[in-house]
Structure 1
């Protein structure tokens, strides 16, 4: 019973450290109860314990998806009911937790048999980091809820991201947790030592933050947050949406104006009277507008760019949201096709778009900002990144904050300005050091400034090398295990 309680405490502490909850610094202690729960267990039990830890964490941290799946999507599309929606949520939590079977298995197999003391925390951190990496790959991959998310406001520490990426920060966090666990295991009197380490970390972050420059960009952009509730948006005709846009945004400054994803949620307005009217309103500026585009027999979730009344280019979303925008592994999950949104989209191609007056800009749509590798690939060729999203699915501010902080991480990793424009979520600009300015609550538009940077960071050049480092450490640890005692010893 004590082991289950420790797992529950670890899951809740991790949740409370996440953006939108209590305090990010809790992440430096969150895994300690988990390590106590894994003591003196075989690899099967430690695997199941680790799975349970991440399942509970996912269930609590992403609880806002329950309302979306049991109320929002069923009411909007009418293809399934609350029970089916809740089942899908449980399946999501299971899929999120599955990679941590590997962490627990490796921990139970080798953690207490590693010969060299210095390798022990490195091995544990490597096993966790590898599991976290696996969680983010494939058609079902997702990176929300990484331990690194907790530190979005620790701007000093976050400067590591330009070298290590978020997985490197996860590695460091696990090392600190494991060493704190070892201290407490040795003696409860070491609690003071552990707290001293925490104070040093927080103080170091503050000192570094003082030396981070506050920069002001030189290129103006208008963030146009439409603030149309999901139910209302899907009930408007395209003509009504254009009328709303004209009323709210036609008097904004004539700089590049960025609208969110799915402004026209179900209609390809190209070559229509609606497009003509939109371009007449914004005939003297560049605008970015999200809507689905239909080419032959394919549909794309697109960011369409117009320049001075003419079509310039479009970016088609590459990383599609599983089940809603595409059906992953149809032979396995074909029965979940009822989750389909307006369309099943085809994936586009990652590309840069040359914007007059701004140079090459990269675009991402919705949850693509959760995937560091996309931004990394974009940053090789662009000087800034624009994220357009529709976060109108939620009745909680927690997911809005958890989404926006991804732009902070992507900005520091790549040293590129990142502009996020949302429908009813959080819009803002993040500079190359992670300093951010958000659109004040209730404000629908504001002019903000960005700069273009084309220098490559260590992370842009070498990507998730921390995964290879972790694999090397795991193999090295396996080669230096203490021999098991036999009946002859």
Structure 2
């Protein structure tokens, strides 16, 4: 399952990679019932599967090392990187282990394979919703299909990413139940003399589960392909030409005087080059590392270029709230005024804020290059621009679909994301692009990505990448996108599928146990 994401991108493995764990959970549960197995071995199975998936997919996190540019010693930096990777891997593995325990307990008396599949699917979706509501989330099972399987990703327009997750879990469950049934029938046949009479029934039931799995797989892809094939209406009056500047400023010099000057010069020259041909220009997350709503911005050449050329700029910088800072994106009008501000909602734990700061602050406060504490933006922000309302995501926000859904439901007509992945490898950049691609499909919106070192890009509402930058290069690009006001079922109703699956599971379990 870990190979499904970048850099390998073997998305097709997701449709079979959970089945072995499903088989092991069911078989180990049966051994526990006859007291042939110790419980700790049962816990070990899903834990190892979860470590394998999340650990492989999230290994790019170790790219934060070395942090010597922050004043962290080399060995301490290595220890911090290893701790971050281990912690988030185990956090993902905890989801898998919780699922296995609940699946085993709820289905301890169930003989119905289809009810096990229903309950297992509902449980996984419910747990992903729970984990996704917190501060650590990236590797939903639905994420395994991005950016390659665009047809199935369009199911996200129905009820969000959990629609894709449900499809993956259900098909894996049916494949696993077919194997379990075949094995049980074989064991029964070997222990009796009725091999000839029982063989046809065994084959039909085994083939039936596989047939259902194949039917669901094909049917869902056809539904997704139908959504994917709908033409995009692109009236000229909805067109908006946006310029993107990828500054390519390494983090290790970003807060030095040399880095500051290089950033100002690069973004200023890029803005001047793009201004004659675009309606607006966007630059990456914290591209200009100073507090934009303070007087110091007035003396910058970038600010002067905006006033001279009169073209709107979306500027990544820091905002000020009392004694604290916000990681923000500003709309700056052609007159140099702040038109709107969006503050990053999902700050990176340890990187941008310190959880349980009263206990951990003195130990790991060197992780932040800022003198003040970054604070979270509000969940219900609205970002108006001179061209209509926009949907905003800053870096880590991209992993949380509800932030984008809320803004789309509030009238957002296009997506702007600003990120800085400078200290990571191409694996992380590819995965980040895949997250924004899913958000574009789910909300049926054009998305413009501005990153510091790659991969900046433009994505259409069907998830097709219209342009993508190279890595570790300075680039400018102009592209026409279209404002849209459509409402997908997901934008309108949110994740309605998961509660329905949970209710149906509860009803089925109750009826079966009563019988």
TM-score of the aligned structures, taking structure 1 as reference length: 0.86
Partner of 2:416: 386
Deviations 1:235-264 (A, max 9, x none): 335344212223344211342000000112
Q: Which residues in structure 2 correspond to 1:282-293 (within 5 Å)?
A: 282-283=306-307, 284-293=310-319
Deviations 1:443-487 (A, max 9, x none): 712111222222322112221223322432442344245589xxx
CA RMSD in angstroms comes to 2.9
The 2-side partners of 1:282 and 1:337 are apart by 36
Q: Which of residues 142, 155, 158 in structure 2 aligns to 1:160?
A: 155
1:47–1:102: 8 Å Cα contact kept in structure 2?
Answer: no
Q: Which residues in structure 2 correspond to 1:114-125 (within 5 Å)?
A: 114-125=110-121
1:244 equivalent in alignment to 2:260: no
SS in 2 for 1:361: strand
Q: Which of residues 340, 345, 356 in structure 1 aligns to 2:374?
A: 345
Partner of 1:295: 321
- The farther-off stretch of 285-294 and 205-214 is 205-214
2:440–2:463: 8 Å Cα contact kept in structure 1?
Answer: yes
Partner of 2:287: 263
The 2-side partners of 1:207 and 1:366 are apart by 29
Q: Which of residues 409, 424, 428 in structure 1 aligns to 2:438?
A: 409
How far did 1:110 drift? 2.8
Q: 1:87 to 1:319 in 2, by over 3 A?
A: closer
1:47–1:103: 8 Å Cα contact kept in structure 2?
Answer: no
Q: Which residues in structure 2 correspond to 1:197-236 (within 5 Å)?
A: 200=218, 204=222, 208=226, 211-213=229-231, 218-235=239-256, 236=258
How far did 1:197 drift? 5.9
Deviations 1:420-464 (A, max 9, x none): 111112112222222221234257121112222223221122212
The 1-side partners of 2:316 and 2:400 are apart by 20
Partner of 2:193: none
Deviations 1:88-117 (A, max 9, x none): 321222222223332011122133533544
The 2-side partners of 1:163 and 1:379 are apart by 14
How far did 1:196 drift? 6.1
Give 1 or 2 for the bigger CA radius of gyration: 2
Q: 1:199 to 1:378 in 2, by over 3 A?
A: closer
The 1-side partners of 2:96 and 2:225 are apart by 35
SS in 2 for 1:97: helix
How far did 1:386 drift? 0.9
Q: Which of residues 335, 340, 343 in structure 2 aligns to 1:309?
A: 335
How far did 1:306 drift? 0.8
Partner of 2:53: 57
SS in 2 for 1:175: helix
Question: Which consecutive residues of structure 1, in runs of 5 or more, have no partner in the other structure?
Answer: 1-13, 485-489
Q: 1:387 to 1:108 in 2, by over 3 A?
A: same
1:320 equivalent in alignment to 2:347: yes
Partner of 1:362: 391
Q: Which of residues 411, 423, 426 in structure 1 aligns to 2:455?
A: 426
**Count of equivalent residues:** 465
Deviations 1:13-68 (A, max 9, x none): x1111233142111101111212222332485544422321122222111111131
Q: 1:246 to 1:325 in 2, by over 3 A?
A: same
Partner of 1:10: none
SS in 1 for 2:330: strand
TM-score of the aligned structures, taking structure 2 as reference length: 0.82
1:452 equivalent in alignment to 2:483: yes
Partner of 2:195: none
The 2-side partners of 1:215 and 1:444 are apart by 29
Q: Which residues in structure 2 correspond to 1:3-42 (within 5 Å)?
A: 14-42=1-29
1:74–1:82: 8 Å Cα contact kept in structure 2?
Answer: no
How far did 1:156 drift? 1.9
* Greater helix proportion: 2
